[in-house]
Structure 1
Amino acid sequence: MAQEHRIETTAHLDARANEVWAVLTDFPAYGEWNPFLTAIAGLLAEDERLDVTLTRPGGKVDRFRPRVLRVSPARQIRWLGRLGPGGLFDGEHYFVLEPQPDGTTVLTHGERFTGVLVPLMKSALADTEQGFTAMNEALAARLSTQED
């Protein structure tokens, strides 16, 4: 029977949504600031595949090729990664940007995992949550240095 597990983090960023978007979509610069998604290559367009390198806390590196599900400029990015054929361990990753009246942005960064292997992946999922938080913090720092 398929299981589901969701990880969701939120960051209040002192930048406009278009500024956050510019950093999130500047894939060639990820190696300079992003401790979790350390490299992304490919075209950010619906139905395209990205080549993503993920570095877990502790240094374990994974590569995967998710399919882009949705791209809404300055609003959201969603992609779906799969381990093996669909239904074993699928992860729908998302970044949702919510512009605030004061010119800041609330980022919801999460992933919904589904599949029969979800119960066996608990330690990897705990690492993933730490990685999301580390990326959110690094994104906030990156945005603050770009204002100077």
Structure 2
Amino acid sequence: MTDTDGTGRDPIVKKAPTVTAVTRISAPVEDVWRVLVAFDRYAQWHPVLSLDAKPEQVVVGADIPGRRSGGDTGQQDVTLRIIDVRAPHRLVWEGGSLDAILGRHSFVLTPQPDGTTELTDSEEFFGAAAAELIPALDQFTQEYSRYGAALRARVEGMSG
């Protein structure tokens, strides 16, 4: 590391507050991917997120408008920008602002030898107020597990 602040010391590197939940889904990766990117159908299965976009908009740089409901803030409009797509294994979007909180949300789909899919749903938080989220990370992890369970129910319900 280099001296970036003129003190002669190495800069302090802090890890962004992160939430991760892992869910096993009894379906192939391609089936999970189809549901994950069917943004216009999120309201049918996702507990708090409703998006206004079609699967063909799953391209880097696309802005996906939507609404988040529930929690202390009630309903709030959101805009998510897709920053990485590696179909059918990885989708990453960002939302928010570095002036407050910017969330970088990633979905990684990993095929398992038994034909199931492991979904790793993670979000890193950046910005001026990101540290304020640290006390709530355990609660967020439970929420993300709930989202994974809802995705699993949707995918498995479609294939079974």
Could you say which TM-score interval applies, normalised by the shorter chain? Answer: 0.7 to 0.9
CA contact (8 A) 1:3 1:114 kept: no
Q: CA deviation at 1:101?
A: 1.4
The correspondence for 1:80, drawn from 74, 94, 99, is 94
TM-score (norm 1): 0.84
Q: Cα distance 1:126–1:28, how it changes in 2: closer, same or farther (>3 A)?
A: same
Q: Cα distance 1:99–1:142, how it changes in 2: closer, same or farther (>3 A)?
A: same
Q: Cα distance 1:76–1:100, how it changes in 2: closer, same or farther (>3 A)?
A: same
Unaligned runs of 5+ in 1: none
In structure 1, what is the equivalent of residue 114 of structure 2?
A: 102
RMSD of the TM alignment (CA)? 2.4
What do residues 12-59 of structure 1 show as CA deviations (whole Å, max 9, x unaligned)? 111100000011111121111111323342622101111132223468
**Greater shift in the superposed pair: 19-28 or 60-69:** 60-69
Unaligned runs of 5+ in 2: 1-11
1:24 counterpart letter in structure 2: L
Structure 1 or 2: more strand by fraction: 1
Q: Cα distance 1:100–1:16, how it changes in 2: closer, same or farther (>3 A)?
A: same
Q: 2:156 aligned with 1:144, yes or no? A: yes
Partner-residue secondary structure (3-state), 2:142: helix
CA contact (8 A) 2:17 2:133 kept: no
Q: CA deviation at 1:130?
A: 3.4
Q: In structure 1, what is the Cα distance between the partners aligned to 2:155 and 2:68?
A: 21
In structure 2, what is the equivalent of residue 16 of structure 1?
A: 28
Q: In structure 1, what is the Cα distance between the partners aligned to 2:115 and 2:15?
A: 39
Aligned length: 146
Q: In structure 2, what is the Cα distance between the partners aligned to 1:52 and 1:104?
A: 30
In structure 2, what is the equivalent of residue 67 of structure 1?
A: 81
CA contact (8 A) 1:3 1:119 kept: no
Q: 2:141 aligned with 1:129, yes or no? A: yes
